[in-house]
Amino acid sequence: MAFDIIAFSASCLLVLAYYLYLGWRTRRTPNSRISAQNAKIREQWVEMVMSSGKMDILAIQTIRNSVIAANFMASTAVLLIVGTLNISEKIGQWSLMWHPFGIGGATSGVTWQLKLGLLLLVFAIAFHFFSMAIRYFNHVGYMINLPSEPDKDDALYHQTCTYLNKAGSYYMYGTRTFFFSLPIIMWFFGSAFLVLANIGLLVGLAMLDRTPS
C-alpha cells in the first residue's frame, strides 16, 4: 500500500510539474503550443465560412464529421466503463496474476478496488468531455449557417468561434483523459509501472503539445 501511495503521489507531481511548465512556456511564447495554433485555425475557418455565404454544405459536413468523431469516442468511453465493471468481480482472482514480478510488494483488495474506481472515474470524465464537445459542435452547426459578415456582425462571429474552440478543447480534454488511463492500467501490474508509464506519457505529450516547426 505504501509503494502505491508513493507512486501515485510522484505521478501526480510529475503531471502537475509538466502542466505548470507548459503554462509558463505558453505565457512566454504563445505560439509554441499546438492548441493555440489550432484555435487560430478554427477562427480562420469560421471567418471563411461566414463571410463567403456559399459554403453551407462544407460547414455542415465538417461539423457532422466532428460530431461523429466525438460521439464515437463517447460511446467508446461507455463501453470501457461497462467492460471494466464486468471484470470487477474477478479482481480478487487476478490480483496475484497481475503482479508477476513482485515489484512494489503485495497488494490488498482495497487497493485494487481503489485502482479500479480511479480507472472508472477516468473513463467517466472522458465521457463527459466528449459529450460536451458534441453539445458545442451542435450549437456551432446552427450558428455558422446564419447570414453574417464578421466585420459587421462581430458578436455572432466571436460567439461562434468561442463555441467551436470550446468544442475542440473538450475533445482534446477527452482524448487526454483516455491517454491518462494508460498509466492507471499499468498500475495494476505494480506501482513502479505507474511511474514509468507516466513518464513515457508525459514525454509523448511534450511532443504533441509543441507546435511543429
Bridge partners for 33 per DSSP = 210
Round to the nearest angstrom and report the end-to-end CA distance of the chain.
Answer: 45
Please tell me the pTM assigned to this model. 0.86
- Give the per-residue pLDDT at 92: 54
**Mean of the per-residue pLDDT values of the chain:** 85
- Give the per-residue pLDDT at 110: 73
Q: Which residue has the cell 483488495?
A: 109
Give the Cα separation of 173 and 128 in Å (integer). Answer: 10
**How many Å is the Cα radius of gyration of the chain?**
21
Instruction: Check whether 151 has a pLDDT greater than 70.
Output: no
- Give the per-residue pLDDT at 15: 94
